[in-house]
Amino acid sequence: MVFEVISACIQGLEEISQLEIKELTKQKSEILIPSRIKFKLNKEQELANYIYNARSIIKAYELISNFTFTDLNNLISQVKKIKFPKIKSPFAVKCDREGEHGFSSIDIEKEIGNLVNQKLEVDLKNPTTIVLVDIVNNNCFIGIDYTGIKLTKRNYRIKLLPNPLNPCIAYSMLRIANIKDKDAILDPFCKSGEIPIEAALYLQNIPNCYRILDKLQFTKFLKFNPKNKIKSKDLNIYAVDDSQNHLKCTEINAKIANINKSIKFSRYDLEWLDIKFKKNSINKIITFPAYPTNTFPKQIIEKIYKELFYQSEFILKNKGIITILTPCPDLIEKYALMHKFKKEKEFKIKYIHQDFSVLVFKK
């Protein structure tokens, strides 16, 4: 049985999700639209295993049909042509919607629920099967949901701060930086700890859904016995912040993830990093620094960026990498070039309804 799968990921980071698809399923994939990737599998268990392990995706589902539409009536008329597979009862229709439309998600769920209903029991709170209607602007994808939850909601994220980093982006930044077991990895603005925690989980091969398997939708209709090959390793991951509150949040989240012993936590001001770390001692700096807002005026942020690259020039090894998430790439690049860092890559992404960039510089 060959079937098609859709993975939803962060727009602009499709390359990382395609890399994961290749690693976890050995399959090629194609980008249908920004943030939606299609590939083929042979067994349901393969899709379950992919979801259990994947770190860069928001959700994944078995594709039944996809099409473009103009309005609600046109959408419904196209759904009427679909021959839905046999569905396990009870079921529910759920709609995820991105973009501006003249209808609500509830409108879609009611209309398509009536079309799908094969004299089956409906259970909106605890369905065995979820028929997912995934709408992105004028694109509609309909499938059987295997996730049921958003995989961005990691179970360790108990202590969050304002403007927390999406864990899928944190993981993608680690892959963009090409982190390795032996690397000394530093996040000097660790906030609630997504970057160092995702680094420890990835390098020790702890599946993303290791502790939330029972919350995944496919467990309601599919037998799945995961093969966990967790590797305990001595890692050099440093979580640093100048705020004791931020550091405490990171420590609590890391403890919940059960990888707190793999991370070294330190409260240090940015200008003291050259005291904390020896010259040429860090392989990778991966971070999400503050950026200009009403709270942080541009002149303060510029001082932070200048100091960041000054310190990085000292503590990074030759050919070391600094990877930064920012909504102001020109400002970051200004201070990177000032300290003779060479821009290697830029990924332009959509994050919290803004344009952001993941920038990679080499010393």
Give, in order, the Cα–Cα distances in Å from 9 to each of 54, 55, 60, 160. 11, 10, 9, 22
| Mean pLDDT within 272-291 | 97
239, pLDDT greater than 80:
yes
**For 81-103, what is each residue's pLDDT tens digit?**
999 988 999 999 999 999 999 99
Instruction: Quote the pLDDT of residue 232.
Output: 81
Instruction: Quote the pLDDT of residue 13.
Output: 98
Instruction: Quote the pLDDT of residue 233.
Output: 87
C-alpha span between 25 and 41 (Å, rounded): 8
More confident residue, 301 or 353: 301
118, pLDDT greater than 80:
no
Bridge pairing between strands 57-68 and 91-98? unpaired
CATH class of domain segment(s) 167-206+217-362: alpha beta
Q: How many helices (H) and strands (E) are present in the chain, helices listed first?
A: 10, 14
List the beta strands (DSSP E) in the chain: 3-9, 29-33, 36-41, 57-68, 91-98, 129-136, 139-145, 184-187, 236-241, 263-267, 282-287, 316-326, 342-351, 354-362
**For 119-136, what is each residue's pLDDT tens digit?**
789 999 999 999 999 999
Instruction: Share the mean pLDDT of the chain.
Output: 95
Q: How confident is the model at residue 351 (pLDDT cuts 50, 70, 90)?
A: confident
Give, in order, the Cα–Cα distances in Å from 310 to each of 65, 265, 266, 271, 294. 53, 22, 20, 9, 26
Structural domain boundaries in the chain: 3-145, 167-206+217-362
| Mean pLDDT within 289-296 | 90
CB atoms within 10 A of CB 345: 14
65, pLDDT greater than 90:
yes
| Residue 293 CB partners (closer than 8 Å, separation 6+) | none
Instruction: Quote the pLDDT of residue 48.
Output: 97
Instruction: Quote the pLDDT of residue 192.
Output: 96
214, pLDDT greater than 90:
yes
Q: How confident is the model at residue 189 (pLDDT cuts 50, 70, 90)?
A: very high
Place of tokens 């003779």: 340
Architecture in CATH of 3-145: 2-Layer Sandwich (3.30)
What percent of the chain stands above pLDDT 90? 90
Rounded to 10°, the helix 14-25/44-53 angle is 130
C-alpha span between 116 and 170 (Å, rounded): 38
C-alpha span between 80 and 197 (Å, rounded): 46
Q: How confident is the model at residue 329 (pLDDT cuts 50, 70, 90)?
A: very high
DSSP assignment string, 242-309 = S-HHHHHHHHHHHHHTT-GGGEEEEE--GGGHHHHS-TT-EEEEEE------SSS-HHHHHHHHHHHH
**For 129-183, what is each residue's pLDDT tens digit?**
999 999 999 999 999 999 999 999 899 999 998 888 999 999 999 999 999 999 9
Instruction: Quote the pLDDT of residue 353.
Output: 82
C-alpha span between 129 and 217 (Å, rounded): 8
CB atoms within 10 A of CB 150: 12
Q: How confident is the model at residue 295 (pLDDT cuts 50, 70, 90)?
A: confident
Instruction: Quote the pLDDT of residue 1.
Output: 81
Burial class (CB in 10 A: 0-12, 13-18, 19+), 131: buried
C-alpha span between 59 and 37 (Å, rounded): 11
C-alpha span between 268 and 278 (Å, rounded): 14
